[in-house]
Structure 1
Amino acid sequence: MKKLLSILTVSAVTVAALTGCATNKLTKQANVNYIGVDAAKNTALSNANIDSSNAVFNQAKLDDKNGTAYYKVDFIANGTEYEYDIDAITGTVIEQNQKQADTTQVGVLVDEAKAKEIALNHAGVTEADTSFIWAKPDVDDGQQIYEVEFYVAATNTEYDYEIHAQTGEIISFDYDAENYTPKTNNTTNGANNNTTNNSTTKTEQEIKKIALAKVPNATEKDIQVKLDRDDGKLKYEGKIIYEGMEYEFEIDAYSGAILEWEAESIFD
């Protein structure tokens, strides 16, 4: 009987020790700083020498293999499917494969330029007619799409499109005639005009120059701005989409001071 109790005691201690080791291992893994999904995507794209605007991601997720945490990244570009396993801590490419994409399932892949072309043709305007135009990849209800937005100053109209990134089908679209017209160098129209109406505001071009100065190499085709009024004060709101990043900002219409500036990856 004593021998049996001794065996049971040893077994219990062994199990507890093993459980403790496993717990410590998981705790250590949980405390490790992983590179993140965005960094894993960028590593895969860089290794494949593919621009983000030409890639449609099927998946990018954290996984585990034999105790090693890694990111599984799968995307399609130019008719080829790329599969990557990337170390979640070091960012090293563990494994990579590529094969011809299954077009019977995927359909015709649409790049950023094609998405813009589809939207412009549908709207009946040319890129030269626009003050700005941008397209960015996104996921909606599990579908890879492009969001396309552009503004036509001649008609004071903003267009928004969602286009299927695999088939080129227009999923949704709408357009809005803006209810304001940006004005500068306002003159007094009457005795009741207040100081805001009489003050000189920055032009749209001046505001674009201020914002673009913060994003080297971005051009006017990457930016959109609009004049708005907040608590009686005029300000410009806008965004810049360039090289996988989206920048949103607010700029004082009178002084040109940047009131707000935010930046995030378009893949977030």
Structure 2
Amino acid sequence: MLSCLNFPYYHLVFDDTQTRWTYRIDAVLGIVLEKNKENIDIVEFISLEKAKAIALNDAGLENADMKIVFTKEELNRNQGTPCYLLEFYTSKYQYYYKIDAKTGSILDGGHYILLTNAKKIAINDA
């Protein structure tokens, strides 16, 4: 194992349902400097549909008749707690949520006005 890397390299991490691979690749020579393979504990995650329902419920949109468009639906397992990263919008707001994939807890979330609405506010104020 390399204790101190003082030259450019790529750090790559990828996984499937059972194994996670970690690589360090020399960015100049293209050789493998370090690699690691570890088994991942098989953990049951809530479904993407359940995560979306949690976010919509928190946003007060679970029974909304308006159009809701999801622009990001991602299961992120690279940084600590596995979580769903969700982004969606309605005609009034854009929403973002980070949902714990194991428990369904909301780790982060909120909304902001759309750019078109911000432009209208600026024009009306000018």
Question: Could you state the TM-score of these two structures normalised by the residue count of structure 1?
Answer: 0.30
Cα distance, 1:121 vs. partner? 1.1
Is the counterpart of residue 150 in structure 1 residue 88 in structure 2?
A: yes
CA distance in 2, matches of 1:139, 1:176: 26
RMSD of aligned C-alpha atoms? 3.3
Q: Which has the larger radius of gyration?
A: 1
Is the counterpart of residue 110 in structure 1 residue 46 in structure 2?
A: yes
Look up the SS of the partner of 1:129 in the other structure.
coil
Look up the SS of the partner of 2:98 in the other structure.
strand
1:177-211 Cα shifts (integer Å, max 9, x gaps): 12425xxxxxxxxxxxxxxxxxxxxxxxxxxxxxx
Letter in 2 for 1:72: K
Aligned residues: 95
Which residue among 147, 168, 182 is the counterpart of 2:104? 168
Distance 1:177 1:147, change over 3 A: same
Cα distance, 1:144 vs. partner? 1.3
How do 1:36-47 residues align onto structure 2 when only pairs under 5 Å count?
Answer: 37-38=13-14, 41=15, 44=16
Look up the SS of the partner of 2:56 in the other structure.
helix
Percent sequence identity over matched residues? 24
Cα distance, 1:60 vs. partner? 3.5
Which residue among 43, 47, 55 is the counterpart of 1:119? 55
Aligned to 2:73: 135
Question: Could you state the TM-score of these two structures normalised by the residue count of structure 2?
Answer: 0.57
1:59-102 Cα shifts (integer Å, max 9, x gaps): 4324xxxxxx86525446xxxx2xxxxxxxxxxxxxxxxxxx5x
Look up the SS of the partner of 1:116 in the other structure.
helix
CA distance in 1, matches of 2:106, 2:58: 9
Look up the SS of the partner of 1:124 in the other structure.
coil
Instruction: Indicate conservation of the 8 Å contact 1:146/1:164, yes or no.
Output: yes
- Runs of 4+ aligned structure 1 residues displaced above 6 Å come to none
Aligned to 2:21: 60
Instruction: Indicate conservation of the 8 Å contact 1:137/1:144, yes or no.
Output: yes
Cα distance, 1:132 vs. partner? 1.5
Aligned to 2:123: none
Gaps of 5+ in 2: 1-11, 24-33, 118-126
